[in-house]
Each structure stands twice: as structure tokens, then as C-alpha cells.
Chain A
Amino acid sequence: MSITVLAFAQSQDTFGFSSKELPCSPEDTPRSLLLRLKPEANLELLRVALDCEFVTWDTPVGSAKELAIIPPVSGG
């Protein structure tokens, strides 16, 4: 299976893409997937969502189709 990883705002600079298709298995977690992409990435200030719902970094991706990296928001 695969998952679409979306990076927004300053996380695009960190990871170097806005959208990327990644091979994964249901047991993978957002943390394991992103550290596979960029081992030195600091996830501390970032949140993550699977299929538009916030989850913890250690939640298995299961059958999710989309993973979004959510830096601190600043709308308005």
C-alpha cells in the first residue's frame, strides 16, 4: 500500500516537498515514515493528521490514504 504525505507551510522547507507518495504498511506510524524520509527531522513542534484528523505521531497509519504534516497554524 501507499500513502500521500502532504507538507504545509514551513514543513515544506524542512522536508523539501509539498506532496509525496510513499510506500507503507498499516503498522507504520507517522513518526516512522517521516524519519525514514528525513532521519534528522525534528518533529517536536509539528502535529500530524491522518485523513484529516489529528493523531499522535505513534498512531499506526492503518488504511489511511493521506498523512498531513501540520506546523503551528496561523490563520486569520
Chain B
Amino acid sequence: MLTEIHFTAEPIVIPPEKLPSREIGAAVEFQGIVRELEEGDALAGLFYEAYEPMARRVLQRHFEELAAIHPCAAVCFVHRTGWVPVGEASLFIRVLSSHRKEALAFLGDAIDRLKLDVPIWKRVERPNHG
């Protein structure tokens, strides 16, 4: 499976779709968008930080394991870091496969695993430690 993992401090630009073969029949995309209300409080945005080398390693492992369960051809993962204002995307994932069922299952499981042990954090306030 082709895997792309990106972190960016800039607004996420959705990468152009590249079909790795003529057997691709499903492209499933997800964007996580920062919303105003978080646990009842109105926010201007969220601050994201990642331990990138470890996050890449853990994500790669998750994607390989998920590809064995839900065979897919490619996954493109983009996560924003730094300050993300309300209304902008913090996460983009695209999964390509021959059939929609595998792509949808892969995407759902990938997001569940992201929230399990991938070292990325969001904070309501910007950190002030050097």
C-alpha cells in the first residue's frame, strides 16, 4: 500500500488525487474541522502539537496493520500543527481502494487508532514553555 504522511504548520491544501492504478474504484476522504464549541466553551481555535518522528512511526504501523484487515491501495494523511482557527481543517485523510467497503472501514479504523496512541495533541491555549 502507498502511504503518505505529512505534518504542516500551514492551512491544509488537499493534495491532488493520484490514482496508483486503473483498479481504483473508491476514493474516500475525511476532513476534521475545528469547531467553535468544545465541551460547552466557545473557542477561537485549537493549538495542535505532534511528536512527529514517533507519530509517523505509529501511523505507518497502524496503516500497515489496517491494510492487512481492509485491503486498500493508498492512504494520504495530513495533520496540521500549531494554531488552527475555527472553521479550518486540522486533519485530512484520503483512502483509495478497489471497493468502497474497504476504504470506508480503513478510514474509520484509522481515525479510531489516531485517537488511541498517535502522539498528537490539541490544546485550547497556546503553550508558553520554552
| A interface residues with partner B (beta carbon < 8 Å) | 6-10, 12-13, 16-18, 47, 49, 52-54, 68, 70-71, 73-76
Q: Contact between B129 and A75 (Cβ–Cβ < 8 Å)?
A: no
Q: Contact between B91 and A68 (Cβ–Cβ < 8 Å)?
A: no
Q: Contact between A75 and B118 (Cβ–Cβ < 8 Å)?
A: yes
| B interface residues with partner A (beta carbon < 8 Å) | 32, 48-51, 53-55, 57, 79, 90-91, 111, 114-123, 127, 129-130
Collect the chain A residues with CB atoms within 8 Å of residue B90's CB.
76
Please give 16 more A-B residue pairs, beta carbons under 8 A apart, in addition to A8-B121, A52-B57. Answer: A12-B129, A52-B53, A52-B54, A68-B51, A70-B51, A71-B121, A73-B119, A73-B120, A74-B115, A74-B122, A75-B115, A76-B32, A76-B90, A76-B91, A76-B115, A76-B122
Name the distance in Å between A37's Cβ and chain B's nearest Cβ: 14
Name the distance in Å between B48's Cβ and chain A's nearest Cβ: 7
Shortest Cβ distance from B127 into A: residue? A12
Shortest Cβ distance from B123 into A: residue? A9
Q: Given A54-B117, A76-B90 in contact, is the A18-B129 Cβ separation under 8 Å?
A: yes
